[in-house]
Chains A and B, each alone.
Chain A
């Protein structure tokens, strides 16, 4: 897409883009990656701790415990989003707070809260999936094709 834009631009525009690129502050990739690593890892460790609790006291086995774990993380994330804390964490953590499932919940909760003034149906109901929608749509379509491919190659015996 970026290349297409470049071709259509007039020489003046091209020069401007070059200039803009020079002046644009360089993103501190290494620092951002380090922050993402630490915060993302920390969220996963919290998730692991919750999972161990479900295994020890909730009577879930290792495999089944991941579902309630995700639900608890989502609840925590929605509460932190409501208090305005999650956005502050996200500013520091970048992808470290966006990639875990808590980021998914944060995107839904913040969209729902933000558009509350537009009404319950069109605002909260309609805008909640603004960011989460693409994830669900592409995840579902990808899962469908993976399922079909498995069916074609392995029949109904596929799966894990």
Chain B
């Protein structure tokens, strides 16, 4: 069942992105930025966690979850260390995604020649 919800919710978020592309003529960079900010705000309002519970990877794979994870890290450290935690905690949860993307991309650039 979780697979179906993952498909539907993940697909719906992508359709939102496609509408931003086509109907509002936003560039991909603007669309991604908008989605990340929306994800951050949704988590601030406590809406994103229930969505992840409900849709699994359908909510945690789209880029909105990146904004959600940034807020999560900030709030976790806020609880632990007080206000300074907002600064120290932001990248705590997203470390896996950002590190993996940087490392793999760098290695790919070393090994692969550009095409075209």
What are the residues of chain A within 8 A of B65 when measuring CB–CB?
66, 70, 101
Chain B proximity of A127: nearest CB distance (Å): 10
Chain B proximity of A99: nearest CB distance (Å): 4
B20: interface (CB < 8 Å) = yes
Interface residues of A in 107-160 (CB under 8 A from B): 107-109, 111-117, 124, 128, 131-132, 134-136, 138-140, 142-144, 146-151, 156-160
Given contacts A32-B18, A40-B11, A44-B62, contact A75 B104 (CB under 8 A): yes
Instruction: Determine whether the beta carbon of B18 is less than 8 Å from that of A95.
Output: yes
Instruction: Determine whether the beta carbon of A37 is less than 8 Å from that of B11.
Output: yes
Interface residues of A in 29-66 (CB under 8 A from B): 29, 32-33, 35-45, 47-51, 66
What are the residues of chain A within 8 A of B23 when measuring CB–CB?
29
| Best-surrounded residue of B16, B36, B52, B57 (most CB of chain A within 10 A) | B57
Given contacts A32-B21, A146-B74, contact A40 B82 (CB under 8 A): no
Question: How many residues of chain B have a CB within 8 Å of chain A?
Answer: 81
Chain B proximity of A75: nearest CB distance (Å): 6
Question: How many residues of chain A have a CB within 8 Å of chain B?
Answer: 79
CA separation between A112 and B103, bound complex, in Å?
11
Given contacts A44-B58, A51-B57, A151-B78, contact A74 B97 (CB under 8 A): yes
CA separation between A140 and B90, bound complex, in Å?
7
Scan A85-104; emit 1 where CB is below 8 A from any B CB, else 0: 00000000011101111111
Interface residues of B in 76-93 (CB under 8 A from A): 76, 78-79, 82-83, 85-87, 89-91, 93
Which residues does B use to contact A, with CB under 8 Å? 2-3, 6-23, 28-29, 31-33, 35-37, 39-41, 43-44, 46, 49, 52, 56-58, 60-63, 65-67, 70-76, 78-79, 82-83, 85-87, 89-91, 93, 96-98, 100-102, 104-106, 108-115
Provide 17 A-B residue pairs closer than 8 Å at the C-beta atoms, listed in order of the A residue. A37-B12, A44-B9, A44-B10, A47-B10, A51-B56, A94-B21, A96-B18, A99-B63, A104-B97, A116-B110, A124-B106, A134-B29, A135-B33, A146-B44, A147-B78, A156-B85, A158-B79
Further contacts, 17 of them, CB under 8 A, given A142-B37, A146-B41: A44-B58, A49-B3, A51-B56, A66-B52, A70-B61, A70-B65, A74-B97, A82-B111, A96-B18, A99-B32, A99-B62, A105-B105, A115-B109, A116-B113, A117-B114, A143-B40, A159-B72
